Amino acid sequence: MTRERLPATEEPFRLASGGRIDRTGRITFSFDGNVYYGRPGDTLASALLANGVHLVGRSFKYHRPRGILSAGSEESNALVTVRRDWRRATPNLRATEVEIYEGLAAESQNRWPSLERDAASINDRVSGLFPAGFYYKTFMGPKSLGRAGRATWKRLYEPAIRRMAGLGRAPIDADPDRYASRYAHCDVLVIGAGPAGLAAALAAAEAGASVILADEQAEPGGSLLSETHVRIDGAPAWDWLAATLQRLSSFDRVRVLPRTTVFGAYPDRMLGLVERISDHLAAPDANVPRERLWQVRAREIVLASGTIERPLVFPDNDRPGIMLAESVATYLHRYAVIAGTHAVVVAASDDAYAVAADLVGHGVRVERIVDVRETAGRAARDLVEAAGIGVTSGAVVLGTRGRRRVSAVDVAHAEARSESIACDVVLMSAGRQPTLHLFSQLRGRLAWQEDRQALMPVAAIDHVHLAGAVAVAGGTIGAALESGFNAGETAARTTGASAALPRVPLADADPPAWLETAPAPRAVRVARGRAFVDFQNDVTTKDIRIATHEGFRSIEHVKRYTTTGMATDQGKTSNVNALGVVAGALDVDIAALGHTTFRPPFTPVSFGALAGECRNQLFDPVRLTPIDPSARARGAVFEAVGQWQRARYYPRVGEDMRTAVDRECRAVRASVGIFDGSTLGKIEVAGPGAAEFLDRIYVNNLVNLTVGRCRYAVMLSEAGYVMDDGIVARLARDRFHVTTTTGGAAGVLAHMEDYLQTEFTDLQCWLTSVTEQWGVIAVQGPKAREVLAPLVEDVDLSVSALPHMALAEGRILDVPMRLFRVSFTGELGYEVNVPAGHARAVWDEILKRAEALDGAPYGTEAMHVLRAEKGYVIVGQESDGTVTPADLGLPTGAAKRDFVGKRSLSRPDMVKPGRPELVGLECMDGGGPLEEGLQLTQIPDPPAGTPASGYVTSSYYSATLDRPIALALVSGGRARIGDTVFAPMPKGARQVRIVAPVFYDPKGGRLHV
Amino acid sequence: MSDLLGERPTIGAPDSPIGGPALPSAEGIAQISEAGTVGRLVLRAGPEAVAVLGQALGAGLTGRINSATVAEGCTALRLGPDEWLLLAEADSDLWLAARIADAAKDVAISVVDISHRNAGLVITGPAAEAVLAVGCPLPLDAAAFPVDRATRTVLAKAEIVLWRQDSDRFHIEVARSFAPYLVALLGVAVEDEAAIAALSKRAG
């Protein structure tokens, strides 16, 4: 056939009729800047082939010209970047899956300056420099360079090598698209909408089950879309397909998801699906999500994922124009595109014979079938004989020719001289490997099956039904319909769906099934050129032999060393061939070799789809206190404390942080400060067993706590380490209000609930989180009482009625209040708890009063300074999970019978001398505050490896004392008060004196006024 | 007393935990609104207390776990064997707590007012189920999650209590500080659902 006989059209390789493309529409698109026409229904690959474009990319390592290998998601060569606009460029898309739209701009990858003339293709000539294990060997740097040389190597050469390799470039700018997500549940998830999947979905739906049918292609139908012979239930396959989809759409509980890849299978049949919603549209609205992640919990799974055709391994088997035979048939029937005008078929299975005959029927000249086997099946031979195609059996492919597209195949044959057969397309077919990735991910075991020459399931797994070609590595359409229908019925019945079913769809004029599969290649003769096993990672038979020569035996190790099967296609077309070559090199059976592990994702998934809505302000909840609006109105500077935003300080005009914090501290010491403590964790513990429960949970004695009183309490982990602290307040005989640290709130509640439900089941009490019920306003300072007195009712604030560590319930500004007289500053202090909805208004009124008395709001920074002046610890700052209450100078519960963590406190390590102990530090050098975390040593410049005596846990400038203060944990520190130690710094050690950890009002007189 | 009250500044109605911009809404998809609930109590009670309390409360406590029992003025969501979330339209701490405490004088229970701890949201509309499915991993179809099913669950990164009030109406309870996050998330979900629905409608 010659070009002149094709219809006069812009798409010279498009047939005049046939296919599922829309001939009434015409789409203009570009590839590397060249403009082409295609049709609605085309993929980029089919449209390029229709225009005779075969060269579409350069390979990963050697920059060899590459074309289109397949017609589906297994594509390993035709990777392109699609650039929608300057912010939207998606690399490494398979041209076989990209649907064209008006204005689509696609680019080839891994080439410079152009696809035709790629500078780095020199790599192909010097391939000896890139042996197996290249990356491992290279990035280490040669040993001879020495340490410094290798550092240079790492800095200069590694980035250069990394730049040269690789595929498309990852986008740099933030992804502007929207991504949606959705959980879903169904009785039956059918994966793959080919004949088996459609029949399964139909049966399950008719039985009354809820069904999700997902298929990765733009259009459901699978192999039916390239099927023109068969008739189903008396109608052409395409009519049956349309009718079936129509029928499925009539069920409320059936959802058909085209353009949806089931990319991962997780425990208990949770599956990850990505639905591509708008990538195929020319101008999608900005509010339409690009993709949607589905997390589907399926009661039953029907896996109808079909098969992937296996390429042949022969020298230079990677040139553009060398394609999988079944894909050539797909382009012919589904897209009405011929991949070339004169073809050579390299066959190792009978599949290719039918395709060859088909091509002849559409005017393509098939120059020869080169069969590496001694003979083909009878039916196959009859078929090609009728079509007038010559067959050379028992042949060896010596190589191929052609720079940017294959131009000839060199063949040797036992009975003849080697010959070169000219062609512009080569079909290859070595049989099929079932697409069992998801089966494997679902923990289904696979093993090499010698008679099928494929990895096949060893045993069925519960709730997973294989249907169609995936179950038997091939088979007729009729068989697929039947097994699919039966699988759908079985799955639906298992879920209890009981409606009557119509009969199984029947196929006639069904082409025969070619179940003969060629042996996986063991030894490949390579006299010249390279025989590729993994196209995408440029792994050749030689690389695999080098790996086995270097001692690699396990297929998993060979995979990692050579990178075979580790490209973005995860070896869909290469794994079986790699197994064969490794087995051949090691002279073992493939079955003995095992196989590599299949892992999600089946095809690459965008980060956007995984992130979904959880980005920007929705990345994580930002929790604001009820007082937040007032703090913001005051210009507070905030800090993140977990998910909470807390006011750190309240700068006035012209103030920096230090000035503001100093002023806030002075206000508390001299007059009054008010502080938003709403984030404190709060738990209400109620019930007759509440007191005993808390007594067992906390170190401190709590059964004897009087009603109306509070006690500071420390909680230990089972291991005896300080876990949390807070105030336990007894509201009534059987009711307590317990506070926790801000960060510890959720963990403490869980810890308590755990003990209550599993250990202390003899106690009747209940825990209720009230963290967010109460807004907390700390009023601290000598004038605190003066601030509150006019605002509260039903509460006597006098020191005799409400002394330090007492509580009262009453009202403030006519709203209910729990008032705790507690102090984290060392001053007379109250914590006003009011229902959260009223907290802001109450805060505003208290603040007004406080400011009239020269008071001020203070933030978390001043709070830290004030408590450090008093030596009050913060769990998580003075403690690090390895600190005991004794270390911190806190009550140790020695007199108590038991509490959580008590036994651990007597472990030898917990009582040995030299434990870290909380002390204060004074700077002796007149400098500023120490850095928190500084190590403390005995001498100013200890040699490397000297253990530290301790470290600085907190350090601030104290405005009250007008000097820096610090808290530290020092080994045996309490016995070392007065000693001098050093804090080594890059510019010389700082000299510090160990002092008692209470810097201000050590007698506590200010608390009790 | 009244004199003192006269001198004191007074404060108005409580701040809404949601506040901020208009709540999400899309015609034919779903709309979010603030629930009218003002009173909330967490009730914990053993079996012996349930019988006593059942009579005192408007709503019975004997409904099955993960269900709502609706009665005049008070709905009981049974969240566990001994746990109920009571939702009241009147201020719960004024009358409900008192009634319970009164009824349960002789039995051990825990009643805690959490009226201000939670925010209540209502989502209505034909796509309410789909919008919630953006972050709620439970099956929400009417067969699995019928009317008056109520449970503690998650919605994306927030813990919620979800109660189906009608085929296309759900009540959500969420801790106060998570409410703005939840509203923003549902807003995005409503927009996405509307955009995808419009797209498939156009595609026919």
pLDDT in tens, B114-123: 999 999 999 9
Strands B118-124 and B30-34: antiparallel
Closest among A633, A635, A571 to A603, alpha carbons compared: A571
- Residue among A684, A793, A814 whose CB faces B10 most closely: A814
A607 at interface of B, judged by CB pairs closer than 8 A: no
Class of domain B22-36+117-204: alpha beta
Calpha distance A507→A505 (Å, rounded): 7
Is the per-residue pLDDT at A981 higher than 90? Answer: yes
For the residues A234-261, what does the mean pLDDT come to? 97
Calpha distance A902→A1003 (Å, rounded): 30
- Residue among A766, A772, A774 whose CB faces B177 most closely: A772
Nearest-CA distance from B90 to chain A in Å? 16
Instruction: Please answer yes or no on whether B15 and A837 come within 8 Å at the CB atom.
Output: yes
CATH number 3.30.1360.120 given to A623-638+651-679+774-854: yes
Calpha distance A935→A18 (Å, rounded): 79
Domain residue ranges in chain A: 3-124, 133-164, 179-307+434-508, 520-588, 623-638+651-679+774-854, 681-770, 910-1009
Instruction: Please answer yes or no on whether B141 and A185 come within 8 Å at the CB atom.
Output: yes
pLDDT tens column, B142-158:
999 999 999 999 999 99
- Own/partner pairs, A32-36, CB within 8 angstroms, 24+ separation: A32/A106, A32/A107, A32/A108, A32/A114, A32/A115, A36/A10, A36/A11
Domain residue ranges in chain B: 22-36+117-204, 39-114
Closest among A750, A701, A55, A871 to A405, alpha carbons compared: A55
Tokens of A469: 């070609």
User: Tell me, what's the pLDDT at A152?
Assistant: 73
The sign one gets for the Cα dihedral A5, A10, A11, A12 is positive
* Percent residues over pLDDT 90 in chain A: 85
Lowest mean pLDDT, pick from A379-383, A674-678, A1000-1004: A379-383
Which residue of chain A is at minimal alpha-carbon distance from B142?
Answer: A253
> Which CATH superfamily, name and number, covers A910-1009?
Aminomethyltransferase beta-barrel domains (2.40.30.110)
Which residue of chain B is at minimal alpha-carbon distance from A746?
Answer: B159
Residues of chain B positioned with their CB less than 8 A from the CB of A776: none
A182 at interface of B, judged by CB pairs closer than 8 A: yes
The partner residues of A780 in beta bridges, in order of sequence, read: A673, A829
Calpha distance B71→B76 (Å, rounded): 8
Q: Note if the bond before A601 is cis, omega within 30 degrees.
A: yes
Nearest-CA distance from A542 to chain B in Å? 49
Nearest-CA distance from A518 to chain B in Å? 44
Which residue of chain A is at minimal alpha-carbon distance from B203?
Answer: A281
User: Tell me, what's the pLDDT at A118?
Assistant: 83
Judge whether A295 and B133 are in contact, CB under 8 Å: no
For the residues B170-189, what does the mean pLDDT come to? 97
Nearest-CA distance from A179 to chain B in Å? 8
For the residues A732-744, what does the mean pLDDT come to? 96
Instruction: Please answer yes or no on whether B134 and A837 come within 8 Å at the CB atom.
Output: no
* CATH entry, A3-124, from 3.40.640.10, 3.50.30.60, 3.40.50.620, 3.10.20.440: 3.10.20.440
Q: Which CATH code is given to the segment(s) B39-114? A: 3.30.70.1520
List the 666-725 stretch of A: residues with Cβ below 8 A of B. 684, 686-688
Which residue of chain A is at minimal alpha-carbon distance from B7?
Answer: A790
pLDDT tens column, A930-958:
999 999 999 999 998 899 999 999 999 99
Largest CA distance in chain A: 116
**Which one-letter DSSP state was computed for residue A224?**
G
Judge whether A507 and A232 are in contact, CB under 8 Å: yes
The partner residues of A79 in beta bridges, in order of sequence, read: A94
Identify the residue among B100, B114, B193 best suited for mutation to test binding to A, counting A beta carbons within 10 A and taking the highest: B114
Nearest-CA distance from B95 to chain A in Å? 14
Residues of chain A positioned with their CB less than 8 A from the CB of B48: none
Tokens of A152: 């240079």
A394 at interface of B, judged by CB pairs closer than 8 A: no
pLDDT tens column, A436-461:
999 999 999 999 998 888 999 999 99
Instruction: Please answer yes or no on whether A614 and B156 come within 8 Å at the CB atom.
Output: yes
Calpha distance A71→A335 (Å, rounded): 10
pLDDT tens column, A221-247:
999 999 988 999 999 999 999 999 999
Band of the pLDDT at A798, cuts 50, 70, 90? Answer: very high
- Structure-token match 């068989």, residue found: A479
Say what the ipTM of the complex is. 0.94
Closest among B193, B21, B25 to B123, alpha carbons compared: B25
Between B131 and B55, where is the model more confident? B131
**Which one-letter DSSP state was computed for residue A498?**
-
Residues of chain A positioned with their CB less than 8 A from the CB of B44: 686-687, 766, 768
- Structure-token match 């990505």, residue found: A274
Residues of chain A positioned with their CB less than 8 A from the CB of B4: 793
Rounded to 10 deg, the angle between the A541-549 and A575-586 helix axes is: 40
pLDDT tens column, A161-174:
666 666 788 888 89
Q: Which CATH code is given to the segment(s) A179-307+434-508? A: 3.50.50.60
Instruction: Please answer yes or no on whether B192 and A768 come within 8 Å at the CB atom.
Output: no
Calpha distance A302→A794 (Å, rounded): 70
Which residue of chain A is at minimal alpha-carbon distance from B85?
Answer: A768
Strands (E), A821-863: 829-835, 856-857
Residues of chain A positioned with their CB less than 8 A from the CB of B14: 835-838
Instruction: Please answer yes or no on whether A617 and B184 come within 8 Å at the CB atom.
Output: yes
Say which residues have a Cβ less than 8 Å from residue A492's Cβ, sequence separation at least 6.
A187, A188, A203, A204, A207, A208, A209, A300
- Residue among B112, B158, B195 whose CB faces A621 most closely: B158
Calpha distance A235→A772 (Å, rounded): 66
Calpha distance B188→B182 (Å, rounded): 10
Residues of chain A positioned with their CB less than 8 A from the CB of B30: none
Instruction: Please answer yes or no on whether B110 and A790 come within 8 Å at the CB atom.
Output: no
| The amino acid at A120 | A
A361 at interface of B, judged by CB pairs closer than 8 A: no
* Percent residues over pLDDT 70 in chain B: 90
Q: Under the phi-then-psi rule, with left for phi > 0, alpha for psi from -120 to 50, and beta for the rest, what region is A63?
A: left
List the 795-854 stretch of A: residues with Cβ below 8 A of B. 813-816, 835-842, 845, 848
* Percent residues over pLDDT 70 in chain A: 96
CATH domain A681-770 topology? Alpha-Beta Plaits (3.30.70)
A774 at interface of B, judged by CB pairs closer than 8 A: yes
Band of the pLDDT at A261, cuts 50, 70, 90? Answer: very high
Calpha distance A571→A558 (Å, rounded): 13
A617 at interface of B, judged by CB pairs closer than 8 A: yes
For the residues A735-746, what does the mean pLDDT come to? 96
Residues of chain A positioned with their CB less than 8 A from the CB of B138: 183
The partner residues of A638 in beta bridges, in order of sequence, read: A647
Nearest-CA distance from B6 to chain A in Å? 11
Residues of chain A positioned with their CB less than 8 A from the CB of B114: 768, 770, 773
Residues of chain B positioned with their CB less than 8 A from the CB of A770: 112, 114, 117
A733 at interface of B, judged by CB pairs closer than 8 A: no
List the 240-279 stretch of A: residues with Cβ below 8 A of B. 277-278
Nearest-CA distance from A926 to chain B in Å? 45
For the residues A585-608, what does the mean pLDDT come to? 92
DSSP B83-102: EEEEEESS-HHHHHHHHHHH
Calpha distance A31→A115 (Å, rounded): 11
A180 at interface of B, judged by CB pairs closer than 8 A: yes
Instruction: Please answer yes or no on whether B136 and A842 come within 8 Å at the CB atom.
Output: no
Closest among A783, A774, A811 to A795, alpha carbons compared: A811
DSSP A94-154: ETTTPBP-TT-EEE--S-SB-SSSBGGGHHHHTGGGS-TTHHHHHHH--GGGHHHHHHHHH
Band of the pLDDT at B90, cuts 50, 70, 90? Answer: low
CATH domain A520-588 topology? Arc Repressor Mutant, subunit A (1.10.10)
Q: What is the mean pLDDT of chain A?
A: 93
User: Tell me, what's the pLDDT at B66?
Assistant: 97
Burial class (CB in 10 A: 0-12, 13-18, 19+), A144: exposed
Size of interface A-B (CB pairs under 8 A): 166
Instruction: Please answer yes or no on whether A813 and B111 come within 8 Å at the CB atom.
Output: no
Is the per-residue pLDDT at A676 higher than 70? Answer: yes
- Structure-token match 């529409």, residue found: A25
Instruction: Please answer yes or no on whether A841 and B144 come within 8 Å at the CB atom.
Output: no
Judge whether A319 and A400 are in contact, CB under 8 Å: yes
The partner residues of A831 in beta bridges, in order of sequence, read: A778, A820
Calpha distance A293→A274 (Å, rounded): 5
